[in-house]
Chains A and B, each alone.
Chain A
Amino acid sequence: MFHNLLYMAMFLLSVSTLVALYRLIKGATASDRILALDAMSYNIIGIVTILSIALNTQNYLDVILLIGILAFLGTVALCKYVERGVVIEHERDN
């Protein structure tokens, strides 16, 4: 019972990841795609958490932190690219 419900939760999270993937491919603007990438990475973090519960191991918990940090840094870099056209600015203000 416990494991069946865990696998059902993993299935629903993967459905939600696929919906975000649809928005990533279809998305009208670049900001839609950034948003969908963010949602996909959060759903994958949830899948990894439920997998580590179902397998009763703590070895996958590093993956959660790693994907979280990578998703945040990628979102910040892509947003700066959409806003200004460059990621790392070389010119000073004055």
Chain B
Amino acid sequence: MNMNVITEWIVLLFILSGTALSLFSSIGLLRLPDVYTRSHASTKTTTIGLISILAGGFAFFLFEDGVISVRLILAIIFVFLTAPVAGHLTARSAHRAGVQLADISVKDELREDLEKHRKEMGGKEAAESKETQS
């Protein structure tokens, strides 16, 4: 290999830090008690870890072959855009489907806000239907 040792270590730094982050997120996925806390562990750490691994691959192909890999840039942008959206969607659908929080959690502010909003909307709709009936 005609690759410099320094560039090897740069690539390894990216890849090993990304691997460590993915491993931590899997520990969080295993140990945390709840869907919401698991989504907190999984999405954040997996996103940054995967972007770090992909950046390591980009650096490898840049230093080794002298090629700027457009597919890896596209993959980094795509993962950076879509992984937080996927985590948000998972937690939102879980809360709307009525998945309970863990027993040790203290407060569910979204449910209070939703109930207040539903009460206001229900009052408005009832008033409107009374008006249309009269």
B1-38: CB near A (< 8 Å → 1, else 0) gives: 00000001001100110111011011101100001001
Chain B interface category by residue count: 35 or more
Cβ distance B49 to chain A, nearest Cβ, rounded Å: 7
State whether A35 touches B50 (Cβ < 8 A): no
**Number of inter-chain CB pairs below 8 Å:** 152
Q: Do A69 and B78 have beta carbons less than 8 Å apart?
A: yes
B75 is an interface residue with CB less than 8 A from chain A: yes
Q: Cβ of A31 and Cβ of B93 under 8 Å apart?
A: yes
Stretch at the interface among B66-74, B103-111, B113-121, B122-130: B66-74
Judge whether B23 and A15 touch: CB under 8 Å.
yes
A80 and B25 contact, CB distance less than 8 A: no
Known: A9-B15, A13-B19, A52-B57. A35 touches B25 (CB 8 A): no
A: contact size bracket:
35 or more
Quick check: B86 and A38 within 8 Å, CB to CB? yes
Chain A: minimal CB distance from B21 (Å): 10
State whether B29 touches A23 (Cβ < 8 A): yes
Q: Are A65 and B19 neighbours in the complex by a CB distance under 8 Å? A: no
* Closest Cβ–Cβ distance, residue B51 to chain A (whole Å): 10
Q: Which residues of B contact A28 (CB under 8 A)?
A: 35
* B61 smallest CB distance to A (angstroms): 7
Measured CB to CB, the closest approach of chain A to B17, in angstroms, equals 10
- Residues in chain A near residue B67, CB distance under 8 A: 58
A:28-68 near B, CB below 8 Å: 28-32, 34-36, 38-39, 42-43, 45-46, 49-50, 52-53, 56, 58, 61-62, 64-65, 68
Residues of A within 8 A of B91 (CB): 31
Contact between A45 and B50, CB atoms less than 8 A apart = yes
Q: Are A83 and B93 CB-contacts (below 8 A) given A6-B15, A39-B46, A75-B86?
A: yes
A residues with CB within 8 A of B: 2, 5-6, 9, 12-13, 15-17, 19-20, 22-23, 28-32, 34-36, 38-39, 42-43, 45-46, 49-50, 52-53, 56, 58, 61-62, 64-65, 68-69, 71-72, 75-76, 79-80, 82-83
